[in-house]
Amino acid sequence: MARILGLDYGTKRIGIAVTDELQIIASGLTTVTTKKIFSFLTEYLKKEDVALFVVGEPKQMNNTESESEQFIKPFILKLSQTFPKIPIKRIDERFTSKIASQSMLDSGLKKKHRQNKALIDEVSATIILQSFLQQNEK
Lowest mean pLDDT among 31-35, 48-52, 96-100, 124-128: 96-100
pLDDT classification of 117: cutoffs 50, 70, 90: low
Residue 110 has a pLDDT of: 59
Closest CA to 19 of 10, 11, 9, 29: 29
Backbone φ, ψ for residue 55 (5° rounding): -115, 130
Give the chain's domain count.
1
pLDDT digits (tens, 9 = 90+) for 13-37: 999 999 999 999 999 999 999 999 9
- Supply the pTM of this predicted model: 0.82
pLDDT at residue 82 tops 70: yes
DSSP string, the chain: --EEEEEE--SSEEEEEEE-TTS--EEEEEEEEGGGHHHHHHHHHHHS-EEEEEEEE-B-TTSPBPTTHHHHHHHHHHHHHHSTTS-EEEEE-TTHHHHHHHHHHHTT--HHHHT-HHHHHHHHHHHHHHHHHHHT--
**Mean per-residue pLDDT for 36-52?**
97
Torsion (CA) 113, 115, 118, 119 in degrees, nearest 10:
40
Range of the domain at 61: 3-135
- Count of alpha carbons within 13 Å of 48, Cβ hemisphere only? 18
CATH number, domain with residue 91: 3.30.420.140
